[in-house]
Amino acid sequence: MAEHIEQAQRDSYIDVIKGIGIFSIVIGHASWDIQVGSNTIHIGAFVYLYHLAIFFFCTGYLYKDVVDDYWKFVAKKLRGLYRPFIIYSFLYMLCRNLFIDMGILQGDKYTGGMWLITFTNVLTFNSIAELLSAFWFLPVLFFAICFYAAINYLTRNFSPYFKHGGRVLCYLLIGIAGLFTVDQKYGLLYNLQISYLMVPVIALGHYFALYKEILKKIVNVFGLVISFAILVFVIESNVGIIELINFMIINKLLFYPVTLCGIWFCLCLGKVICRSSWLEKAFSIAGRMSLDIMALHFLSFKLVDYVACHVLGNTEFMNTFPHTFVRLWPVYYIVGMVIPICMKKLEERVVTNVKGKIYSLISSYDKEIN
């Protein structure tokens, strides 16, 4: 019952923001530079300025500071992220050799020991990469929210002044630790250096939720124009890019200001999108299914490549990752979103029908017994 109430009270605006985030991930993976006449649009570098941080911000926005049992909270978060990680990883393992036979994936087939190694990696929350490359994000998100919740939990009994001041200090210190480890290219287990970086971003999301009535004054069309202009200036000035998995954060001084500007851009864009009911619904659906899109968009790209290469009669580069054709980016944008959503909807319908039949059989059996 509680789940139904939570679903009914779901914040559509935050789902739209998450929808912007996942669409930006698809854009970044489907295209890096787009040639328009004599102009080059650095679309990939642009969305990389915010496309992951916005999910941590949304996590902070939705965080409820009423954690009485920390380990119960950790178990709940682990269940929410680990279960889909396991399901998609095992499905991918089972289909991987088929993908190689189809010609859409490079590499050797799984045999003997590789099955055991991959199975062990999956069980220990380690991404198996390739068409599930984006799943490195899930353990990073899990540990980041655990760190954030631990800080809040350990300071819950402090006096108000020391509680809030101590929390902010901890957020800053762990963020500085993240900047240092990334700058030094220390690749920590589960990419924890990125989790450190994102704890202050989660905190920003939580504070935004607390003071949204005040802060919403800067979330408007004017803010959209200003934030967009700043992000474009960052890209065009060649000061650097943000690519967290490759230890690229522009530099230690600019990372958080640019990330904050990217989040501001998403918040303002979300407000504009919400003015259209059908756009709001579309992005809201994408936001709710962002994890499924993250899991399936690379496979969607390769299905396009499979069809296009066979139509053209040239399959030599069909297994190029993440996609084969540079100019098909509009198609990749669409299928990268639509196919995962359709597959998830189909899965939900099948599960609902199967459950209905099982309940019907059980009910009929009970009636026969009685």
Q: What is the pLDDT of residues 256-287, one digit of tens each?
A: 999 999 999 999 999 999 999 999 999 999 99
Residue where the block lists tokens 């590789």:
114
Residue 248 maps to a domain: yes
Residue 117 maps to a domain: no
Residue 103 maps to a domain: no
pLDDT tens digit sequence for 113-129: 899 999 999 999 998 88
Q: How far apart, in whole angstroms, are the C-alpha atoms of residue 225 and residue 80?
A: 36
**What six digits make up the tokens of 66?**
């009423």
**What six digits make up the tokens of 306?**
């499979």
Q: How far apart, in whole angstroms, are the C-alpha atoms of residue 60 and residue 201?
A: 8
Q: How far is CA 318 from the centre of its chain?
A: 26
Q: How many domains does the chain have?
A: 1
* Backbone phi and psi for residue 294, each to the nearest 5 degrees, phi listed first: -60, -35
State the pLDDT at residue 49.
97
Q: How far is CA 224 from the centre of its chain?
A: 22
Residue 112 maps to a domain: no
Position 2 pLDDT exceeds 80: no
Q: How far apart, in whole angstroms, are the C-alpha atoms of residue 344 and residue 349?
A: 9
Q: Rounded to whole angstroms, what are the CA distances from 159 to 61, 63, 252? A: 23, 21, 33
pLDDT tens digit sequence for 311-351: 999 999 999 999 999 999 999 999 999 999 999 999 989 88
Residue 246 maps to a domain: yes
| Contact present, 289 and 341 (Cβ < 8 Å) | yes
Q: Give the β-pairing of 242-243 and 34-36.
A: unpaired
State the pLDDT at residue 327.
93
| Contact present, 23 and 283 (Cβ < 8 Å) | yes
Residue 109 maps to a domain: no
User: Which domain, by its residues, includes 355?
Assistant: 2-67+129-369
Q: How far apart, in whole angstroms, are the C-alpha atoms of residue 210 and residue 68?
A: 20
pLDDT band of residue 9 (cuts 50, 70, 90) is very low
Per the prediction, the chain carries an average pLDDT of 92
CA dihedral (270, 271, 276, 277) in degrees, to 10, reads 80
In the chain, where does DSSP find H-type helix? Answer: 2-8, 12-30, 43-47, 53-62, 70-102, 112-123, 137-154, 160-183, 192-210, 212-215, 221-236, 255-273, 277-288, 290-312, 329-369
pLDDT tens digit sequence for 194-207: 999 999 999 999 99
Position 108 pLDDT exceeds 50: yes
Q: Give the β-pairing of 39-41 and 34-36.
A: antiparallel
State the pLDDT at residue 345.
93
**What six digits make up the tokens of 206?**
């939580």
Residue 104 maps to a domain: no
Query: Per this entry, what is the length of the chain?
Result: 370
Residue 312 maps to a domain: yes
Q: What is the largest CA-CA distance in the chain?
A: 78
CB proximity list for 127: less than 8 A, separation 6 or greater: 89, 121, 133, 135, 136, 138, 139
Give the pTM: 0.92
State the pLDDT at residue 365.
63
SS (H, E, C) 60-99: HHHCCCCCCCHHHHHHHHHHHHHHHHHHHHHHHHHHHHHH
